[in-house]
Structure 1
């Protein structure tokens, strides 16, 4: 039996049970001479079928000899070294002599390599093989391309997960333990509510629709998807009140002052459709889908993309059904929650390191000192746990530690809005373009705190809108990739 990509199989085949177990059961008649071959790209640690099967095998690795000292070893990603920002310098460091092994040695190394078991206390009838892309023959996937892919992946959890799964053949570890809200409280930053710090290059918002209110958080995003909470707005009244939607519409037209004197607007606002979808669809149609994205959250980590769509759904307006009346985006909330928690745990440079020119790691989440403890508790209100289904299969599931979790939900929607805007896929040129429009590339030329330049104007990117304010009025320049 040949079972391919077993980690992509559903937990149960039409309620009959595990597909792998069902397939193996078909071969029991030939138990003495049967062979069952399972192969797959691994997915999530603890849930991966191929990881479980490999750990029950003799765990064979392909050993190659160092061309310098002759030491035999299997290739590990942490031994691939290169100068930061220069993947073309990638070489493998021998674990015995630490000498740099160049790419051209790989052909001879592979030719004389051999498989060796690395586990002994297992069933000898089960053998397993693991091979990463580090072994790709010369001319296929080079070490330089692997290094380049790793550097490019650091702006996104999904990209890092894909790299580890597909390039290294390793499972992805979901770290879902909720960070301590007190630790977040102690390291809050200092910037006024409703203002955008210097690193912010565009804004998105996440709107969580509740029965009696709509809670909106506005986030600024910079390079590497570093983020800053800019504003927290509570709109009283709930989705059945027209004035609530009017207030939310006014929020889309509002501007937030940037530390460089700019005024920025929201590039994308993702609105939750979970509570009152028809009202969200109707409002989104009136606003236009260029700036508004109705979203539906789904659980689970087995999705090819953290955001999919848009799909066209029927909407109702005044009792009349409108075919394909709304565009709905589907958001894998589990993925973005895990990413948020991982980014909250990133080590930060000290004050001395920052003064010496160090920068924050990509993905760092900055929280201001005006957020209160209640908001922080909502921000870390869930924890990722492994649960067993009725049929005995393991599943990762987010569970609430407290009832209110609006801050976390709004963050997930704002992050989805950044993905929809394309920030996860922008090339370097687009980030430079945003910085150039803002003047972020030249700190010496940055405007003073009051935002007035020498020529009496104010230069600003506004999350998709770049505004220059003059005594004659405003000119608006639209960045095409932000809508």
Structure 2
């Protein structure tokens, strides 16, 4: 950029949950362009929006309407229509005609009169120019499809993904998170620890690696993403094992992989089992402590000590994972990479470490939404 200061630099992206880097660039642009078009009935030029105005002289207008907030995706798809800022109710074909007669204006500097005359000048500083386009500007997306996608995202707790991929907006979650006490009261189960409810299909485990210990948790999973806390604990590391390739706390995780948890009251699970073992254990492989302390090598050595069938293929039972906050919410949920060494310390991962990068932007709003209930 510094070497080619007169060059055109183009960035395109769907915003993620706030704070979103691309949205910050959009808001910081000296010239922010929006597409305005004339209503097919009254002729008033306006920016197309998904959500109607919630206050002011256009309250309830200027957006996709026709369905209530709890409507099913099918109902939204069937009933959606567009209401212009003056209350004209428009069909898909009318909105399509509107879009073809529009023009770009600089937000806050220009407006378009009903006769199509542009009033105002563009800002003097046009060093950075941003353009906002979203799904309604597509030639194939209907109002019903937009509304249905909103309902699907609402039901799945994926509104951040809908805002970014469909509306081209950064999603900012409203309201405060529930306290741990209210979450505990709402989600506590009457099943005792180490007992599996009969509607659980399988168990998974997670392990968080720290400098002197590992924490672990076992959860049982049922239909509709229902999960139960089955068991938990921590394994301390022996202080004298510093020169051993296999660290004591990680080795104790083998007992978790070998254990079985019984189904409640001697009942059978939906798969006909009276007990479960861990289907998949995901272990944090990105611990970075003070200085050059790193336990990625420890995780790699422990995984190499396990049976190969547990590390790859259809019989895989253990995965090394780390969060990746650089991916957009619409990207794939997890991607594997083969690591040969640490870029930071130069440590070599003997045999290579397959590490799964988890899409934090995808999971964060889902977990947050479920915590809020």
Q: TM-score range by the shorter chain?
A: 0.5 to 0.7
In the superposition, the TM-score normalised over structure 2's length comes to 0.64
Distance 2:253 2:22 in 1: 47
CA distance in 2, matches of 1:47, 1:66: 32
User: What residue number does 2:33 align with?
Assistant: 60
- In the alignment, what sits opposite 1:240? 248
Q: Is the 8 A contact 1:93 1:100 kept in 2?
A: yes
Other-structure match for 2:231: 231
2:88 is the alignment partner of 1:104: no
Q: Which residue of 2 aligns with 1:88?
A: 77
**Structure 1 equivalent of residue 163 of structure 2:** 164
Q: How far apart are the structure 2 equivalents of 1:284 and 1:272?
A: 19
Q: Is the 8 A contact 1:235 1:248 kept in 2?
A: no
C-alpha distance in 2 between matches for 1:283 and 1:335: 30
Q: Distance in 1 between matches of 2:181 and 2:36?
A: 48
Q: Cα distance, 1:39 vs. partner?
A: 4.1
Of 249, 257, 266 in structure 1, the residue corresponding to residue 257 of structure 2 is 249
User: How big is the shift at 1:100?
Assistant: 4.5
Matched, 1:43 2:15: yes
**TM-score under structure 1 length normalisation:** 0.51
Measure how far apart 1:38 and its partner are: 3.8
Structure-2 separation of matches of 1:55 and 1:90:
37
Structure 1 residue 270 displacement after superposition: 0.9
Q: Secondary structure, in 3 states, of the residue corresponding to 2:93?
A: helix
3-state DSSP of counterpart to 1:190: coil
Matches for 1:75-474 after TM superposition, within 5 Å: 75-78=48-51, 79-81=63-65, 83-86=71-74, 88-89=77-78, 91-96=80-85, 100-120=89-109, 123-126=123-126, 128-137=130-139, 140-153=140-153, 160-173=159-172, 180-192=179-191, 193-196=193-196, 202-210=202-210, 213-222=213-222, 225-235=225-235, 239-240=247-248, 244-251=252-259, 253-257=260-264, 262=269, 263=274, 264-273=276-285, 274=287, 275=295, 276-277=298-299, 278-283=301-306, 285=308, 287-289=310-312, 290-298=315-323, 300-302=325-327, 304-309=331-336, 311=338, 323=351, 327-332=354-359, 336=363, 339-346=366-373
CA distance in 1, matches of 2:43, 2:230: 57
Q: Deviations over 1:320-343 (max 9, x none)?
A: x9746x643233557645643343
Change (3 A) 1:261 1:97: farther
Alpha carbons of structure 1 residues 203 and 120: separation in structure 2 relative to 1, 3 Å: farther
Deviation by residue 1:369-408 (Cα, 9 ceiling, x = unmatched): xxxxxxxxxxxxxxxxxxxxxxxxxxxxxxxxxxxxxxxx
1:154 and 1:224 map into 2 onto residues whose CA distance is 15
Please name the residue that 2:346 is paired with: none
Say if 1:207 and 1:215, in contact at 8 Å, map to a contact too.
yes
- For residues 124 and 264 of structure 2, what CA distance do their matches in structure 1 show? 67
Q: Give the 3-state SS of the residue equivalent to 2:36 in structure 1.
A: strand
Deviation at 1:97, TM superposition (A): 5.7
Q: Which runs of 5+ in 1 are unaligned?
A: 1-18, 28-34, 315-320, 347-483
SS of structure 2 residue aligned to 1:77 = coil
Aligned Cα RMSD in Å?
A: 4.2
Q: How far did 1:279 drift?
A: 1.1
- SS of aligned partner of 1:40: coil
